[in-house]
Copies of this chain bind each other. A is one copy, B any other.
């Protein structure tokens, strides 16, 4: 049973979930090569649409995502990857999770606290 990369021009969404807390940390996209690299290395690797290249999460920051378990859905076109996150957070804005904004009424409100200084880690890069 092979993954179906056909739905979005060779990409499929991968939901990254903390293996311990169950929190959704981020959602990225993988092409076939990113998928193979994720399996070969044991570190979550995406395809960056903005940079048009493979992107091992945490390659520059050290905040890599160690693959613990991988699930796929009934259509075999989406992944859920449970990880141990190395480092205090996955978000380049300094938060544990990229999903740090919650809808309250009509407003998106930041409901998390920053876990680290993104400028110190990324120096302006992601």
Closest CB in chain B relative to A36 CB, distance in Å: 12
Considering the complex, give the chain B residue whose CB is closest to the CB of A108.
Answer: B1
The range of chain A's interface size is 35 or more
Question: Judging by beta carbons under 8 Å apart, are B73 and A98 in contact?
Answer: yes
Q: Does A101 contact B (CB under 8 A)?
A: yes
Q: Which residues of B contact A27 (CB under 8 A)?
A: 13, 15, 73, 78
Question: Judging by beta carbons under 8 Å apart, are B13 and A71 in contact?
Answer: no
Q: Does A69 contact B (CB under 8 A)?
A: yes
Q: Which residues of B contact A108 (CB under 8 A)?
A: 1, 72, 76
Q: Does A49 contact B (CB under 8 A)?
A: yes
Question: Which A residues are closer than 8 A to B by beta carbons?
Answer: 1, 7-8, 13, 15, 17, 21-24, 26-27, 49, 69-76, 78, 80, 91-93, 95, 98-103, 107-108
Starting from the known contacts A1-B101, A73-B98, 4 additional A-B residue pairs (CB-CB under 8 Å) come to A27-B73, A71-B99, A71-B101, A73-B100
